[in-house]
Structure 1
Amino acid sequence: MKTVFISLTAAVGLLAGCSEPPSPATASITNCGVPVTVKATPQRAIAMEQNATEILLSLGLADRMAGTSYQTDPVLPSLKAGYDSVPVLAKLYPSREKVLEARPDFVYSTFTSAYAGEAAGPRQELAKLDVPAYLSRFACEKDAAAFAFDGLFGEIEEVATLFGVPERGRSLVAEERGRLDAALKGKHSGTSLLWYYSGTSTPNVAGPGGVPAAITEQLGATNVYGDAKQTWPAGSWEQIAARNPDVIVLADLTRGGDGDSAESKIAFLRSNPVTAKLDAVKAGRFITVPGSSMDPSVRSVSAVETVGAGLSELGR
């Protein structure tokens, strides 16, 4: 029995060396149905979680960040120096008071929950305080876009433009597109995948509409939960056994909960009488990616590379 573990290690290029001058022009957009006006290029931005943080850092904007929070994985090695210079406001989401204490002139989040009352507060309320608040198009409260790489690249370029560094956005997107094209040269038709995010008593898995779905489609494989009605449905081990995936993609989470780490997931799958009989478990056909790479971010292309390479090594 051969077990293949593939870890996501590709680093995102840091653009901090760019000397592009910020533009003083006012920028106004409609973001998830909410008007967002940036009267001057942000100098004290807060990124509410890891994905937003790493996008700003990849654009070379560490010196224009007043805070970060909710890091679920170690920051990408290429971004660590910039990350270490940014104040960490909270282990999870900071309160509204903590956010305002940092005197932000821009707030960026990739999850709706960041703008809940117990976190930064509603975006409309922040706007009344002249703090523009941006939300990823994939997390809109209504009519959120299904994940697509073109949408991710558009978001990166839009954020770069709001910060007055459009060329950095174009450069980063060109790099990401090149890597994506290279990663998609091989197709894996006929291979079924289970994307196992978390949970042991009830597994949380990836359905349609999210990053895993897009990666699966791009690689020519199929998602055993592609027929689910939610992007992140609660599955059941009996369903999974009936669908018998060829390969299991594991989210490696650092939260420390039951079944969070890839190692604990594998131990559970091998010890559970139902899942121990799965072909993928018996053959050790596992691919491991950081949990944050299953959400829209600068890690998304790296996840394509990792899963594609893993499938090739497994002969799938």
Structure 2
Amino acid sequence: MIPIIVGGALLTAGLVACGGPDTDQATASPAESVTFENCGRELHVDSPPERAVTLEQNATEILLALGLGDQMVGQGYQVDEPLPELAEAFDEVPVINPETISAEQLREALPDFTYSTLGSFYSADGVGTLDELDSLGVPSYASEAGCPGAAPSSPASFQGLFDEYRDLGRVFGVEDSAEQLIAEQQQVLDEATRDATEQPTAVWIYSFYNGPPIVAGAGGMPSAISEAVGLRNAFDDVTSSAWPEMSWEQIAQRDPDVIVVADLSSRGRPGDSAEDKITQLRSDPVASNLSAVRGDRIVALSGTAMDPSIRSIDAVAELGDWLTTTGVFQ
């Protein structure tokens, strides 16, 4: 029984009465409790969740990749078309809100577990803090690379993603699925490994929200992806923010060998598409003189893959193939 507050009233909800999984499905997973540390506090889950809610798309796709669609009752914050291999399962998960799920909407869904790779969703103004949800009997997991209200304890990495898959495998009793997913992604990393005496530099451009480019700084997934394919993030020494604003003049000082632009076409905002960003690069008087622009060494990757996600490994494969095709390492 889960205490849920809706409209200020304390309710006690039983899963069967709320349209939860049937008995066969509910007993298919082992009823084992797990306890481990997550984002600086102890997370305890009594038994594998049956009514999980994901707060954003990266979390949704990770659970679906682990085969957990039947244990999900809601999702939110959709920013991209679902991965083709997950599209059918993705469409089966109810959309609570295609943008940000509110506290009231979350509680009305009667979840027994929530998950987000972006800790900013866990706030007093959002669905509630991790501690608040724990106190309501709704254990919640946030990615260690994006703990709410705190700087990451360690840089984003593929090993961190693998640890996250293992944590979720334990929570849901699907450890074998987690290990299989890890093995598949590790194989891509192994195949991408490149021995290079010198690492070409790359600037990762996410957007032009306020005019100046927002680029990848230290500690984010772009650095991990760069390292995997033999590149070096040109702004890996900037620790003030994972995505700092940099002027074209600052980028020109570093004159990267490669420019990676985020394709955020699905969001539909002006300037979000890779094509818009490349047009800006070629028309700006400073950017157009960058070596990478003059040499046409610009590649577009999914913006979603630039946050720790199931898509990050696809970015490794795509970027590795592009580097081979363009002869950057010759």
The alignment's TM-score, normalised by the length of structure 2, stands at 0.86
- Answer whether contact 1:269 1:276 (CA < 8 A) is retained: yes
Structure 2: runs of 5 or more not aligned = 1-26
Name the aligned partner's letter for residue 217 of structure 2.
G
**Cα deviations by residue, 1:33-73 (Å, 9 ceiling, x for unpaired):** 12211112101101111111110000001111011111211
**Who is 1:237 aligned against?**
248
Pair 1:249-2:260 in alignment: yes
- Answer whether contact 2:192 2:228 (CA < 8 A) is retained: no
- Aligned-partner SS, 2:272: coil
Name the aligned partner's letter for residue 84 of structure 1.
D
Q: Report how many aligned residue pairs link the two structures.
A: 297
Which residue, out of 11, 24, 44, partners 2:51? Answer: 44
Structure 1: runs of 5 or more not aligned = 1-19
**Cα deviations by residue, 1:98-134 (Å, 9 ceiling, x for unpaired):** 0011110000011121112232111111111110010
Pair 1:294-2:283 in alignment: no
Q: Distance in 2 between matches of 1:110 and 1:125?
A: 18
**Which structure's CA Rg is the greater one?**
2
- Answer whether contact 1:199 1:259 (CA < 8 A) is retained: yes
Which residue, out of 123, 146, 150, partners 1:142? Answer: 150
**Runs of 4+ residues over 3 Å off in structure 1:** 185-190
- CA 107–40 in structure 1, closer or farther in 2 if over 3 Å, else same: same
The alignment's TM-score, normalised by the length of structure 1, stands at 0.90
- Answer whether contact 2:216 2:244 (CA < 8 A) is retained: yes
- Aligned-partner SS, 2:267: coil
- Answer whether contact 2:193 2:230 (CA < 8 A) is retained: no
- Answer whether contact 1:248 1:286 (CA < 8 A) is retained: yes
**Who is 1:162 aligned against?**
171
Worse overlay, 272-281 or 127-136: 272-281
Name the aligned partner's letter for residue 82 of structure 2.
V
- Answer whether contact 1:109 1:134 (CA < 8 A) is retained: yes
- Aligned-partner SS, 1:60: coil
**Who is 1:104 aligned against?**
111
**Which residues of 2 match residues 23-172 of structure 1 at below 5 A?**
23-140=30-147, 141-144=149-152, 145-172=154-181
Kindly report the root-mean-square deviation, in angstroms, between the aligned alpha carbons of the 2 structures. 1.6
**Who is 1:8 aligned against?**
none
Worse overlay, 181-190 or 304-313: 181-190
- Answer whether contact 1:188 1:221 (CA < 8 A) is retained: no
- Structure with larger RCO (C-alpha < 8 A, sep 6+): 1
